[in-house]
């Protein structure tokens, strides 16, 4: 069992067990509404933060079912406190359930890799102690997603209270799931068209209509020529792709297709998150999509909200959107 009363170190940070006395130091560090953009709530006043830290310093929930580990991130070279790391553990040990990690870094220290460094260190310690590690992250919280990936976690299809569950995959699953996302080029068109056709025809409910309109099974190359195509590549094989259209302050997901042999392995979700990151980088505040009925649940679990139905050549389809906050948090 991990000793929650002990501190630990990373390359640049000292992680100190949280105490009541830390509240006065951390209150100004965490006094920023942007830190609650994805989690709700608001910054706590010093007195309220002191009361909260008094509870957390007990290291155990009132009912005894959970153990609480909380540490202050302190930069070793400056002694500056920059944020906190947290883990919630079932009191019954690793066999009773996973360890859930979370982190927060004050705005003045974001963008320096402190959260990645601390999260990676904590995840390593937990795994050495036999724990399975998870996290829950809002689908638009791009900075926290980068932290989770740096710590070895990957997104799943599970959503709890609007947040995606991230886990460390097994060795076999990790090897199978390995892929990178890059810009597609003209030399990829043959592979993209192959994925497009096989993926389109893989759904029994769509196949007859598609075969009756063979022209819709031809993928044009305009999006590739214009640099609007992102490809998921495993080894030297394209296993999925997505395209988008940019109009003013809105990104439209135009295409999203995954090789039928690699469906339900997180590739489609990763491509959507990649497009959201691109949109965020362009200062775009909203991503929209026309989803067929078969993809409705997928987009809902990725964080999209259904607005209304539109007519398509194959029947009504929901229009959906995801709003992207102006800030993405810090890593």
pLDDT of residue 329: 45
Under 8 Å CB-to-CB from 196, ≥6 apart: which residues? 217, 219, 241, 255, 257
Average pLDDT over residues 54-63: 96
Q: How far apart are CA 318 and CA 57, in angstroms?
A: 48
Neighbour count for residue 278 (Cβ, 10 Å) = 17
pLDDT of residue 177: 56
Higher-pLDDT residue of 177 and 98 is 98
Which of 4-8, 113-117, 159-163, 238-242 has the least mean pLDDT?
Answer: 159-163
Domains belonging to the chain, first-starting first, are: 8-168 (3.40.630.30), 177-323 (3.40.630.30)
Residue 130 gets the label, from left (phi > 0), alpha (psi -120 to 50) or beta, of left
Average pLDDT over residues 163-172: 77
pLDDT of residue 327: 54
Burial tier of 189 (Cβ tally within 10 Å: 0-12, 13-18, 19+): middle
Neighbour count for residue 235 (Cβ, 10 Å) = 9
Average pLDDT over residues 308-323: 92
pLDDT exceeds cutoff 60 at 226: yes
Q: What is the pLDDT of residues 180-196, one digit of tens each?
A: 899 999 999 999 999 99
pLDDT of residue 328: 44
């Amino acid at each position: 069992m991990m000793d929650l009363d002990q501190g630990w170190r990373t390359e640049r940070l000292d992680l100190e067990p949280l105490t009541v006395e830390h509240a006065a130091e951390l209150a100004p560090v965490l006094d920023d509404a942007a830190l609650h953009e994805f989690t709700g709530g608001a910054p706590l006043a010093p007195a309220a933060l002191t009361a909260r830290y008094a509870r957390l310093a007990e290291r155990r929930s009132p009912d005894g079912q959970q153990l609480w580990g909380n540490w202050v991130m302190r930069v070793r070279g400056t002694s500056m406190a920059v944020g906190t790391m947290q883990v919630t553990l079932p009191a019954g040990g690793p066999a009773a359930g996973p360890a859930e990690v979370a982190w927060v870094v004050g705005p003045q220290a974001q963008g320096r890799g402190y959260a990645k460094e601390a999260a990676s260190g904590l995840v390593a310690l937990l795994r050495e102690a036999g724990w399975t590690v998870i996290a829950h992250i809002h689908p638009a919280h791009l900075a926290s997603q980068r932290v989770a990936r740096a710590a070895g976690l990957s997104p799943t299809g599970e959503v709890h209270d609007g947040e995606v569950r991230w886990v460390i995959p097994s060795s076999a699953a990790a090897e199978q799931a390995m892929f990178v996302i890059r810009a597609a080029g003209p030399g990829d068109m043959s592979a993209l068209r192959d994925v497009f056709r096989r993926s389109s025809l893989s759904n029994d409910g769509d196949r007859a209509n598609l075969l009756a309109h063979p022209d819709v099974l031809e993928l044009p190359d305009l999006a590739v020529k214009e640099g609007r195509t992102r490809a998921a590549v495993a080894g030297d094989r394209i296993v999925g792709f997505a395209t988008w259209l940019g109009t003013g302050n809105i990104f439209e997901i135009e295409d999203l297709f995954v090789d039928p042999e690699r469906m339900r392995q997180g590739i489609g979700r990763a491509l959507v998150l990649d497009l959201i990151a691109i949109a965020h980088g362009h200062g775009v505040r909203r991503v929209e999509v026309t989803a067929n009925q078969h993809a409705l649940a997928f987009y809902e679990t990725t964080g999209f909200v259904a607005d209304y139905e539109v007519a398509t050549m194959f029947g009504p389809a929901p229009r959906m959107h995801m709003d992207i906050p102006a800030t993405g948090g810090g890593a």
